[in-house]
Amino acid sequence: MATIAVAAGPESVVVRPGSRELFVVSSSGTVSVIRFPELRVAATLRIGQRARSLVFSPDGRWAYVLEPSRGEIVFLDCAPLKELTRSKVAGQLSSLAIAPNGRILVAAAADKGRIFFVEADTRKPLGFVEVGKGPKSMVILPDSSKVFVANSEEEKISAVDLASRRLLSHIEIGSAPGALLLKPDGGEIFVLSPRTSTMTIVDAFHNNVEQSLPTGREPAMAISRRDSSILYIANAGDGSVMALEIETRTMLASTHVGTEPRVLALTPDERFLAVADSASASLAVLRADRAALLTTIPVGSRPVDVVIPDWLWQR
């Protein structure tokens, strides 16, 4: 349909809630806003030398993005796009998350082994918690009670109480964690370990390991159906996508889709699965019920993110 020029080094695309806008975060330090149906850049904002890990308030009015090299959380007003203020945290910030209730921002500093807490409304720093080495990926439970962080330089994830900002436990998983995925009901966390080609399932309520399963080589990302029936895993090391029945832990299919699949997105009706292959400059489309490959579409070089907004699907 279109190829849209944005700032150099686009790393992520995020749908702004309650709008027909996509926010594109570029590693070169710029946020670009693309509007639909125009499919053009409507606004840009320079964040700094770098930009990473943008999240929205639940109503889409505010956005928050990291300037990782300066250790800052940048607060944005989305309409019109403008910077409001910055909160200085510390260290090289690796990721940002917001509690589902929209009240607390959590920023991970990989070089400090800490996660920092900032109140979203007042922008007031609330302190930090020591976790493990190299904290990166994070998930927060739907009731905003706990945050789990993957310590990428150790073989554990850490559970932290969000209200008291207190470390609850270190959960040993036996391999270095990569990406985390929270099951839609919040009961389990799927922890991918690229180095050992395994996935560990963690009980999010009791903070313990339930089971470890083999995956394809170097699992990079996982996504779940809304009813928690099927989990899809992109294996960057062998070019495959696996479909796993969550309840029985049974593999339903393993489909070769390309060279290095790293990103997955389900269509809103969950009939199709889009898979971005960062090595072959392509987007594969699968039938989600059988994980069967339908087609492969050439895109730009090294695709790194995919979103499928509801409004695009319904038009």
Burial class of residue 314, CB neighbours in 10 A (0-12, 13-18, 19+)? exposed
Instruction: Tell the burial category of 294 from Cβ atoms under 10 Å away from its Cβ (0-12, 13-18, 19+).
Output: exposed
Residue 83 has pLDDT above 70, yes or no: yes
> Is the confidence at residue 135, as pLDDT, over 80?
yes
Neighbouring CB atoms inside 10 A of 304's CB total 15
What are the two backbone dihedrals, phi and then psi, of residue 68, each rounded to the nearest 5 degrees? -65, -35
pLDDT in tens, 201-249: 999 999 999 999 999 999 999 999 999 999 999 999 999 999 999 999 9
Q: Which residue has the tokens 């790393």?
A: 11
Q: pLDDT of 18-38, one tens digit each?
A: 999 999 999 999 999 999 999
- Domain boundaries in the chain? 215-315
| Residue 1, pLDDT score | 87
CA distances 223 to 127, 176, 180, Å, are 32, 20, 10
Q: Which two tokens stand for residue 167?
A: 């470390």
Confidence of residue 314 (pLDDT cuts 50, 70, 90): low
pLDDT of residue 312: 74
Confidence of residue 100 (pLDDT cuts 50, 70, 90): very high
One-letter identity of residue 198: T
Q: At 46, phi and psi to the nearest 5?
A: -80, 125
Please compute the mean of the pLDDT values over residues 285-292 and round it to a whole number.
Answer: 93
Confidence bin at 164 (pLDDT 50/70/90)? very high
Residue 251: its pLDDT value, please? 94
Count of positions (residues) in the chain: 315
Query: Per mean pLDDT, which of 61-65, 92-96, 277-281 is the most reliable?
Result: 61-65
The overall average pLDDT reported for the chain is 95
> 1.10.150.20, 2.120.10.30, 2.60.40.10, 3.40.309.10: which CATH number matches 215-315?
2.120.10.30
Distance CA 36, CA 135 (A): 36
Query: What does R_g of the chain's alpha carbons equal in angstroms?
Result: 19
Q: Count the alpha carbons within 13 Å of 235 in the hemisphere toward its beta carbon.
A: 23
Judge residue 91's burial from the number of C-beta atoms within 10 Å of its C-beta, 0-12 exposed, 13-18 middle, 19 or more buried. middle
pTM for this prediction: 0.95
The pLDDT assigned to 35 comes to 95
C-alpha distances in Å from residue 182, one per residue of 120, 152, 191: 22, 17, 9
**Which tens digit of pLDDT belongs to each residue from 110-119?**
999 999 999 9
